[in-house]
């Protein structure tokens, strides 16, 4: 017999006021007895996820939406408008300044699709988030990959030089995987230089880790993007918002640019993600708590590596990039054997550096115990 929403609400034992009281753990607990026991999971420090996931208010919104509104069976595009409205309100802009995607990855791909061609290359750091370059390869767009500078920051001078004739310049700030930040002033100046070198090129600023930045010299480029058709800012709900599984990202920009970025429409967005993102963008307090939590765990991790004799870059993200003075692969493989997953190789630095995501403080204590054994660090160092 067909399933009804009322039965759903009954089954899961919630409804009315108790919705708000339902805790995430309690909710999960309702079902844990019914499934087969799962093997213990390794520490997941390889994909820069928020270890706590979305906030309770966010999950309550999804529960409420799916229980009361039953939209899981309906195409979700009307809800996208509510999400765009909520994002626009958060930035003090208009919904025409907002578009969204299946994670910011879709936004990035579409930017490459619509602003580059075989004749209009992509400019990107040689060691940066790979989505743009990967998609450029697929569609036959040449990539000008600019090596990092000696401090493992994106080399803005060289990138601006390379921008001449380009269709798109990709700037990940802070940069994944190096965790480094470019100051607001530096990015401002860079944009001006790109504009004069390549007036038609779009500068795509990927601010995926924005909410984890603690350096006061940082500035989002969202305000500029709204006014400047040649700048767009990409953001994601996969990091500080803790929604990597729900696949929602967005872009802020000039209406003209936003319209071009609507190339694939909103077909890839799911209703749970849309509802969750709409709730999450309004929960600034939780973002601040998450940033504080991450900052403490990040400090602990960087200090541990430092005391053990391994330098990290100045991380402004939820991961650290560490010179472990040995190939990442062997380190990673041994970590996996001992129950800790760390990130993949990042050439050309795969012989010396590893990226480690920041979990909870407790997870980082357990992880650094493992790292200590593998790196031959004595208890004194840790």
Binders in 78-97 for other proteins, by CB under 8 A = 78-82, 84-86, 95-96
Q: Which of 117, 214, 270, 338 binds other proteins (CB under 8 A)?
A: 270
Q: Minimal distance in Å, beta carbon 209 to other proteins?
A: 15
Nearer to other proteins, 65 or 148 (CB): 65
CA-to-CA distance for 84 and 252, rounded, in angstroms?
A: 10
Work out the burial of residue 154: count CB atoms within 10 Å of its CB; fewer than 13 is exposed, 13-18 middle, 19 or more buried: buried
Two structure tokens written together for 369: 């115990």
Helix (H, G, I), strand (E, B) or coil at 287: helix
Looking at 172, 176, 180, 266, which residue binds other proteins (CB under 8 A)?
266
285 binds other proteins (CB under 8 A): no
If one asks whether residue 33 binds other proteins (CB under 8 A), the answer comes out as no
Q: Is residue 361 near other proteins by the rule CB under 8 A?
A: no
Judge contact between 141 and 118, C-beta under 8 A. yes
Q: Is 290 in the site for other proteins (CB under 8 A)?
A: no
Select the residue interacting with other proteins from 20, 21, 26, 267 (CB under 8 A): 267
Q: Which stretch binds other proteins (CB under 8 A): 2-10, 180-188, 191-199, 327-335?
A: 2-10
Out of 268, 361, 370, 382, the residue judged to bind other proteins by CB under 8 A: 268
Regarding 68 and contact with other proteins (CB under 8 A), the answer is: yes
Alpha carbon distance 155, 180 (integer Å): 12
**Both tokens assigned to 184:** 């607001």
- Give the tokens for residue 124: 């990107």
Structure tokens at 206: 């990927």
Q: Does 15 bind other proteins (CB under 8 A)?
A: no
Distance, CA of 66 to CA of 4 (rounded, Å): 11
359 binds other proteins (CB under 8 A): no
CB 208 within 8 A of CB 235: yes
Count residues binding other proteins (CB under 8 A). 83
Distance CA 212, CA 316 (A): 6
Residues 6 or more apart whose CB falls under 8 angstroms from that of 28 comprise none
Per CB under 8 A, 27 contacts other proteins: yes
Instruction: Choose, by CB under 8 A, the member of 44, 186, 223, 381 that binds other proteins.
Output: 44
Q: Considering the rule CB under 8 A, would residue 275 count as an interface residue with other proteins?
A: yes
Q: Which of 121, 242, 253, 359 binds other proteins (CB under 8 A)?
A: 242
Give 277 or 375: the residue with its C-beta nearer to other proteins: 277
CA distance 204 to 132: 10
For 74, counting Cβ atoms within 10 Å of its Cβ (0-12 exposed, 13-18 middle, 19+ buried), the class is exposed
Bridge-based pairing state of the strands 122-125 and 202-206? unpaired
With binding defined as CB under 8 A, does residue 105 bind other proteins? yes
Q: Residue 239, SS3?
A: coil
Is the separation of the CB atoms in 208 and 238 below 8 Å?
A: yes
Chosen residue from 20, 26, 72, 330 binding other proteins by CB under 8 A: 72
Which of 22-30, 188-196, 204-212, 355-363 is the region at the interface with other proteins (rule: CB under 8 A)?
Answer: 22-30
Q: Give yes or no for residue 263 binding other proteins (CB under 8 A).
A: yes
Which segment (42-50, 159-167, 299-307, 354-362) binds other proteins by CB under 8 A? 42-50
- Which two tokens mark 136? 């450029």
- Of the candidate residues 16, 33, 35, 40, the single one contacting other proteins (CB under 8 A): 35
30 vs 311 by CB, closer to other proteins: 30
The Cα–Cα gap between 106 and 336 comes to 30
Closer Cβ to other proteins, 74 or 329, answer by number: 74
């Amino acid at each position: 017999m067909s399933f009804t929403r009322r039965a759903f609400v009954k089954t899961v034992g919630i409804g009315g006021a108790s919705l708000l009281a339902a805790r995430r753990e309690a909710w999960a607990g309702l079902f844990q007895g019914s499934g087969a026991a799962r093997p213990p999971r390794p520490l997941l420090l390889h994909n820069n996820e928020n270890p706590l996931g979305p906030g309770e208010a966010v999950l309550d919104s999804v529960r409420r939406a799916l229980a009361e509104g039953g939209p899981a069976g309906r195409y979700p595009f009307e809800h996208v408008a509510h999400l765009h409205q909520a994002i626009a309100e958060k930035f003090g802009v208009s919904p025409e300044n907002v578009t969204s995607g299946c994670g910011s990855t879709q936004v990035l791909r579409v930017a490459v699709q619509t602003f580059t061609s075989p004749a209009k290359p992509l400019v990107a750091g040689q060691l940066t988030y790979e989505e743009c370059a990967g998609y450029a390869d697929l569609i036959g767009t040449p990539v000008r990959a600019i090596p990092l500078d000696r401090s493992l920051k994106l080399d803005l001078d060289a990138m601006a030089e390379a921008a001449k004739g380009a269709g798109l310049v990709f700037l990940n700030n802070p940069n994944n995987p190096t965790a480094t930040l470019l100051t607001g002033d530096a990015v401002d100046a860079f944009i001006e230089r790109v504009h004069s070198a390549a007036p038609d090129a779009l500068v795509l600023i990927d601010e995926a880790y924005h909410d984890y930045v603690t350096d006061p010299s940082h500035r989002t480029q969202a305000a500029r993007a709204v006014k400047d058709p040649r700048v767009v800012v990409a953001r994601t709900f996969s990091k500080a918002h803790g929604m990597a599984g729900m696949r929602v990202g967005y872009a802020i920009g000039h209406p003209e640019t936003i319209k071009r970025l609507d190339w694939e429409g909103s077909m890839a967005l799911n209703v749970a993600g849309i509802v969750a993102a709409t709730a999450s963008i309004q929960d600034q307090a939780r973002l601040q708590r998450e940033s504080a939590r991450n900052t403490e765990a990040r400090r602990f991790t960087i200090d541990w590596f430092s005391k053990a004799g391994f330098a990290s870059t100045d991380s402004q993200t939820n991961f650290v990039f560490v010179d472990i003075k040995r190939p990442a692969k062997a380190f990673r493989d041994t970590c996996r054997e001992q129950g800790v997953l760390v990130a993949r190789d990042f050439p050309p630095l795969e012989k010396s550096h590893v990226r480690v995501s920041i979990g909870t403080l407790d997870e980082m204590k357990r992880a650094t115990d493992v790292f200590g054994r593998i790196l031959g660090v004595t208890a004194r160092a840790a």
